[in-house]
Structure formats: C-alpha cells, structure tokens
Structure 1
Amino acid sequence: MPMRVSITIDPDTMDLVDKFGKEHGLDRNRAILECIEAGYARLTDGTPVSFTQTKTFEEYNDLKKAITDVKESLSNLAEEVRLIHHTIEVEWTKEIRGVPFQSKRWYEFWKS
C-alpha cells in the first residue's frame, strides 16, 4: 500500500542521498526509499542504532531562536539606555540653570 510522506532533510543529508543515488543509478526519491529500507533492515536485525548526532537544521533552528532572543534583549537594552539617557539629560538641565542674579547681564542690574 503506497503512502505519501513529506519530510524535511537538511542540505548535508540531501547531498549524501544524492551521492548515494548517483553511485547506484537511482533518482532522488528511490534513493531515499532505499536508505529507509536499509535502515529498517538494520533495525530489524538487532543492530544498535544511535541517534546522538544532532542534525544541522536542528542546530540552525536553535541558533536562530537564540539570535532572536539576543536581538530582543538588545532592543530592550537600547530602550532602557534611551530612557536613562533622557532621564540624566533632564536632571542635568535642571542643575545647570543659573541662580537669578548670575543669569542677568551686567547692564540689567541697573534697570531694576
């Protein structure tokens, strides 16, 4: 009974499948089927199968998520720095105001 399957394969694995297909004179779909059948045959023989190798596309997704987290943190940090800069600037402008007698020009004393 045929079944339609949709899978995601990282480029390195796809290159290996294409290389296997060229070596055995198979198209890509048939090469994938042969690899699946060989893996199933190995599994049913009792040969231990290890899945410790992390796939590159999984690593890519992890890195992409980490980068988006860093970007979000940096944008939050930039907003905080902008707010602190504004607060400091407002405080400094309040401190810089001169005392009324210091802000008058010399000729304004004669007017009052």
Structure 2
Amino acid sequence: MPMRVSITIDPDTMDLIDKFAKEHGLDRNRALLECIEQGYARLTDGTPVTFNETRAYEEYHELKHAISEVKTSLDRLAEEVTLMHHTLEVEWSNEVRPVPYQSKKWFEFWRT
C-alpha cells in the first residue's frame, strides 16, 4: 500500500541523494526510495551501521560558545545598567532638594 510521506532533509544529504540519482540514472524520488530500502535491508541483515557525521557535536560546541559569549555580554550589560541606574538615582536625588528661595513662603522673604 503506498504511503505519502513528507520529510525535511538537510542540503548536504540532498546533494548526496542527487549525486546517487545521477550516477544510477534515477529521478530524485526513486533514488530516495532506493536509499531508504538499502538502509532498511542493511539494518535487517544485522550489519552494524556506522555514522561518520560529527557535525552535531561541532554545532553543539559552536552553539555553546556563542551562548557563553551572549551570557558574558549580558553580564557586562547588567553591570552597565546598574551603574547607569546608580548615576541617575544620585542625580535625581540631588535635584529633589528644594532651592532655598522656593522653600520659603512669599511673605517670609526677610528671614534667612
């Protein structure tokens, strides 16, 4: 019974499938089916399947490094924000003090 399947394949694997299809004179869909059938046959034979792709670990390492850089920059940003907050709070508290002539009532101008 035929079944329709939708899958997502990375560009490198798609290039390999296209190369296989060109070498064997097949269209892309048939080449993909052949690859799946050969992989299934290899699994049912009991032969060990080896994966030689190390991209996942390298990508993980790159992502971990990028995340650590983002964390470092966010720490620096937090320090900057704390400093700016302190600076603004000091300036604001200095501005809150009333000017001497404004603290007196209009009729108390002779007092010092």
Shift of 1:90: 4.5
Measured against aligned partners, the alpha-carbon deviations of 1:20-67 in whole angstroms (never above 9, x if no partner) come to 0011111111110000011111111111113463556xx38x83x875
Q: Give the structure 2 partner of residue 2 of structure 1.
A: 2
Shift of 1:72: 7.0
Whether contact under 8 Å (1:10, 1:55) holds in the other structure is no
Number of residue pairs the alignment of both structures matches: 93
Q: Give the structure 1 partner of residue 23 of structure 2.
A: 23
CA RMSD after TM alignment: 3.8
Shift of 1:88: 3.8
Structure 1 stretches lacking a partner, 5+ long: 96-111
Measured against aligned partners, the alpha-carbon deviations of 1:81-107 in whole angstroms (never above 9, x if no partner) come to 123233146448979xxxxxxxxxxxx
Structure 2 stretches lacking a partner, 5+ long: 95-111
TM-score normalised by the chain length of structure 1: 0.58
> Does the alignment pair 1:41 with 2:51?
no
Q: Give the structure 1 partner of residue 12 of structure 2.
A: 12
The percent identity for this pair of structures is 58
Q: Give the structure 1 partner of residue 84 of structure 2.
A: 85
> Residues 66 and 8 of structure 1: is their aligned pair in 2 closer, same or farther, counting only changes over 3 Å?
farther
Map 1:63-82 to 2 at 5 A.
Answer: 63=63, 67=66, 71=70, 74-75=73-74, 77-82=76-81
Higher relative contact order (CA 8 A, sep 6+): 1
